[in-house]
Amino acid sequence: MARVDLDGNPIKPITICMIGAGGFIGSHLCEKLMHETPHTVFALDVYNDKIKHLLEPDSLPWAGRITFHRLNIKHDSRLEGLIKMADLTINLAAICTPADYNTRPLDTIYSNFIDALPVVKYCSENNKRLIHFSTCEVYGKTIGAFLPKDSPLRKDPAYYVLKEDESPCIFGSIEKQRWSYACAKQLIERLIYGEGAENGLEFTIVRPFNWIGPRMDFIPGIDGPSEGVPRVLACFSNNLLRGEPLKLVDGGQSQRTFVYIKDAIEAVLLMIENPARANGHIFNVGNPNNEVTVRQLAEIMIQVYSKVSGEKTPATPTIDVSSKEFYGEGYDDSDKRIPDMTIINKQLGWNPKTSLFDLLESTLTYQHKTYAEAIKKVIAKPVAS
Ligand SMILES: NC(=O)c1ccc[n+]([C@@H]2O[C@H](COP(=O)([O-])OP(=O)(O)OC[C@H]3O[C@@H](n4cnc5c(N)ncnc54)[C@H](O)[C@@H]3O)[C@@H](O)[C@H]2O)c1
Ligand SMILES: O=C(O)[C@H]1O[C@H](OP(=O)(O)OP(=O)(O)OC[C@H]2O[C@@H](n3ccc(=O)[nH]c3=O)[C@H](O)[C@@H]2O)[C@H](O)[C@@H](O)[C@@H]1O
């Protein structure tokens, strides 16, 4: 049966130039596009480990529909040609781990703003559609965070629910370099919006709210640097795999809403295949029903990991660390992140499905299967003196 869009029109196969296709989100999006659609993908990245299973062997049913182009968009003249040959560009490339924002602010700003500029320019000049990945961090802190601790208004959604077309972007002072990423993302959003308004660029901006699942980031010392600090899912997975206490930054009081990567990818596919409904919009993509404090996330992950691995829960399950000790000078945090879902519901009819417990169960099953043996070997090795 022919696949149809939300308005009942047949979907024509298109060619997508996906920048950052070798990362966490890119790998899931490539998988979805190969398994369920007829579209062709130029996959651009400096790495391809997370999409190797889609590229080899040549006998895969989608062989020829996905090609990998190893390139760094900072300096590669092939970029414009690839954007020109595609119907749609999706830009995922970014430095997006908080441990980098205050310690490598220049790389963070260059990656999230300067390096994205040619992509926007080539799309605009060549009349190509762009789906750009921004972040929920552009909202920064909630208005409610500035109310007195005991104010009843803190319970009023008007003070914390984040709306694409209404909420302000509230960052800390310049010394709080944590906000270098959010600020760079905000400026590239404004630039894309301006290209749409002044030059007719067809764009969609995605603001992901803590998408998590298999293949997110790396496990330090296994498939990433020993001293590296990934995002919280991988930090806590690493602690659980090694039987160490989970580290709660500043008491783990910050709140997040986590969405399963596979739910979120459904939203991106709807954007790809329904341009008339997605163009000109900024979309929150998250799961408002999956809110927890970081401390609660740790507690649930400890329980779920014990269930999927069959190992006992550790005697000291968590320890508190200061943000200065964990991230260094200049760290700051978003207090709470609840996405308003009105716009994505209205335009694309999308809703997340997977509960936090279910998504952690499938993700931690994957982490255990993928890493437990490798970790055991590393732990068993005597440390060189
Ligand atoms: N995962 C989330 O929940 C989340 C949340 C908010 C925003 N985002 C945004 O979504 C995008 C993708 O995030 P992700 O979680 O997949 O991150 P990721 O780090 O796994 O993927 C990013 C990919 O971009 C590639 N890349 C970076 N710079 C490049 C360059 N100069 N040239 C070529 N390739 C380059 C990296 O090698 C990596 O494979 C980012 O823009 C990020 O800011 C993600
Ligand atoms: O995923 C998102 O939507 C966005 O937010 C993330 O930012 P954040 O949620 O702060 O990053 P995490 O590393 O996932 O940390 C979440 C919380 O856990 C805490 N944390 C992290 C790691 C750890 O070991 N312990 C711990 O308590 C952090 O301090 C923070 O409060 C990143 O900035 C981006 O990937 C992205 O743009």
Domain at 223, CATH number: 3.40.50.720
Testing ligand 2's pocket by substitution, the residue of 132, 137, 239 carrying the most ligand atoms inside 8 A of its CB is 137
260 in Cβ contact with 212 (< 8 Å): yes
Structural domain containing residue 104: 94-367
Q: Does ligand 2 lie within 6 Å of residue 375's CB atom? A: no
Q: Which amino acid is at 281?
A: H
Decide if 219 is inside a domain.
yes
pLDDT of 347-381, one tens digit each?
A: 999 999 999 999 999 999 999 999 999 999 998 88
Which residue's CA lies nearest to atom 33 of ligand 2? 98
Decide if 87 is inside a domain.
no
Decide if 81 is inside a domain.
no
Decide if 270 is inside a domain.
yes
Testing ligand 1's pocket by substitution, the residue of 70, 72, 96 carrying the most ligand atoms inside 8 A of its CB is 96
Torsion of CA 330, 331, 337, 342, to 10 degrees: 40
Which residues form the catalytic set?
181
Sign of the CA dihedral with 184 first, then 100, 79, and 223 last = negative
A 10 A CB-CB count for 344 gives: 26
Q: Does ligand 1 lie within 6 Å of residue 375's CB atom? A: no
Q: Which ligand is nearest to the CA of 213?
A: 1
Instruction: State how beta strands 66-70 and 40-45 pair.
Output: parallel
Burial environment of residue 299 by CB neighbours within 10 A (0 to 12, 13 to 18, 19 or more) = middle
Decide if 118 is inside a domain.
yes
Q: Which residues of the chain have pLDDT under 70?
A: 383-385
For 302, the 3-state DSSP assignment is: helix
Q: How far is the CA of 332 from the centre of ligand 1 (A)?
A: 21
Testing ligand 2's pocket by substitution, the residue of 96, 109, 215, 232 carrying the most ligand atoms inside 8 A of its CB is 232
Q: Does ligand 2 lie within 6 Å of residue 208's CB atom? A: yes
Long-range contacts of 238-244 (CB under 8 A, 24+ apart): 240/301, 240/302, 240/305, 240/309, 240/364, 240/367, 241/367, 241/368, 241/371, 241/372, 241/375, 242/375, 242/379, 243/311, 243/314, 244/314
How far is CA 280 from each of CA 141, 164, 208, 341, rounded to the nearest angstrom?
Answer: 25, 12, 17, 17
Strand order in the sheet with 66-70: 66-70, 40-45, 15-19, 88-91, 129-133, 203-208, 281-285
Q: How far is the CA of 365 from the centre of ligand 1 (A)?
A: 24
pLDDT of residue 2: 84
Decide if 331 is inside a domain.
yes
Atom of ligand 2 nearest to the CA of 208: 3
Q: Does ligand 1 lie within 6 Å of residue 110's CB atom? A: no
pLDDT of residue 384: 63
How many structural domains are present in the chain?
A: 1
Helix (H) or strand (E) holding 320: strand 318-321
Q: Does ligand 1 lie within 6 Å of residue 26's CB atom? A: yes
Q: Does ligand 1 lie within 6 Å of residue 96's CB atom? A: yes
CA 274 to CA 279: how far, in whole Å?
Answer: 8
Q: Does ligand 1 lie within 6 Å of residue 135's CB atom? A: yes
When computed from its CA atoms, the radius of gyration of the chain, rounded to whole angstroms, is: 21
Structure tokens at 159: 């003070």
pLDDT of residue 314: 86
Decide if 49 is inside a domain.
no
pLDDT of residue 381: 80
Output phi, psi for 317, to 5 deg: -70, -40
Decide if 57 is inside a domain.
no
Structure tokens at 350: 């999308």
Helices assigned H by DSSP within 200-260: 232-242
